[in-house]
Amino acid sequence: MSVITLKKPVRIISSASVVGRHEHAGPLGGLFDFWDADDAFGMDTWEHAEAEMQRMALTFALNKYGADDRAIDAVFAGDLMNQCTSSSYGLLPFDIPYFGLYGACSTAVEGILLASLLIDGGHFSRIASVVSSHNCTAERQYRTPIEYGSLRAQTSQWTVTGAGAVILADGGDGAKVEKLLPGRTFDLGINDPADMGAAMAPAAADTLSRYFRETGTLPRDVGKIVTGDLGFRGYEMMVELMHREGYDVTNNYTDCGMLIYNREKADVHSGGSGCGCSAVVFASHFLRELNEGRLDSMLLIGTGALMSPLTVAQGDSIPAVAHLAKVVR
């Protein structure tokens, strides 16, 4: 599959982000639509809290667009929970055809890709894409309950408590999705679940270098190159892997996981991660940069590590995938 250029203008007409207190304390804190001081969002369990974040994010996005759920033809949704229950329960109140996705932390961009393709295809006018992650649900499921106080490796990342929603449409105002490149699954044999950046960087470099080769463009031809959640460690690997492919990305490449926390103050080691990381940074920061004219174009690359605690326990290495969307002003 080659780079896809959409036939019609698909615009991101609304977006919203909902985060926890650590994310609010970070450098982008003032840009999110809502933050909750105790990360519980008024709920009795962390899992209910994460579902509530999805409900809130889509509600904010609908409110900003000035429409209710009847205006939306479909929703793509996903999260990191087993059986993606933050999505299925969180979006239950909405009367919208539902497509569940699982792309780990690439899900935000997977949703944008599929929504763009369906709108471009002509049967759908407006599609929402909603994803979430929550630090406490992820820690409980993937590692150990936070109350255990386990030590974290320096390569490990901090799962973002955040839900992001975007609404894409075949008309209206907002940044335009112009080109897409779906990713292939990739496995370079990394098997350390505390080093996701290293597992995902090869997939991101594969997709990004294919994009440059196929379009005959260079990193300098786009305003920003932004990966989802490689973090500081994965960023360095990505720069090195792209260098080996013949591309210098050091001038305009960054990663959402490096932007969301204040690294000096927050104990986040290699940066942020999780489905919510790229979703809230894109929905709050980068879409604003595009819509307010400070950025002309960007390549958003969603990165996902497709393992589970069970596959890690069985000694399998970690496959990853990276989907790319070019979004322009």
- Closest distance to a second copy from the beta carbon of 287 (Å): 23
8 Å CB contact between 12 and 168:
yes
167 binds a second copy (CB under 8 A): no
289 binds a second copy (CB under 8 A): no
42 binds a second copy (CB under 8 A): no
Compute the half-sphere exposure of residue 69: CA atoms within 13 Å on the CB side of its CA.
16
- Closest distance to a second copy from the beta carbon of 32 (Å): 26
- Spatial separation of the C-alpha atoms in residues 62 and 77, rounded to whole Å: 15
316 binds a second copy (CB under 8 A): yes
- Compute CA distances 186 → 190, 207, 229, whole Å: 11, 10, 16
- Closest distance to a second copy from the beta carbon of 123 (Å): 5
Binding to a second copy (CB under 8 A): which residues in 59-118?
Answer: 73-74, 78, 80-85, 88-89, 91-92, 95-104, 110, 113-114, 117-118
Compute the half-sphere exposure of residue 52: CA atoms within 13 Å on the CB side of its CA.
17
Identify the H or E element spanning 75: strand 74-78
311 binds a second copy (CB under 8 A): yes
Whichever of 9 and 100 has its CB closer to a second copy, that residue is 100
- Closest distance to a second copy from the beta carbon of 27 (Å): 30
34 binds a second copy (CB under 8 A): no
8 Å CB contact between 124 and 74:
yes
Which has the closest alpha carbon to 18: 139, 114, 160?
160
Instruction: Name the 3-class secondary structure at 14.
Output: strand
- Candidates 143-151, 162-170, 274-282, 316-324 — which segment interacts with a second copy by CB under 8 A? 316-324
Which residues are 15's β-sheet partners?
Answer: 166
Interface residues with a second copy (CB under 8 A) are 1, 4, 7, 45, 47-48, 73-74, 78, 80-85, 88-89, 91-92, 95-104, 110, 113-114, 117-118, 120-124, 182-185, 187, 304, 306-311, 314, 316, 319, 321
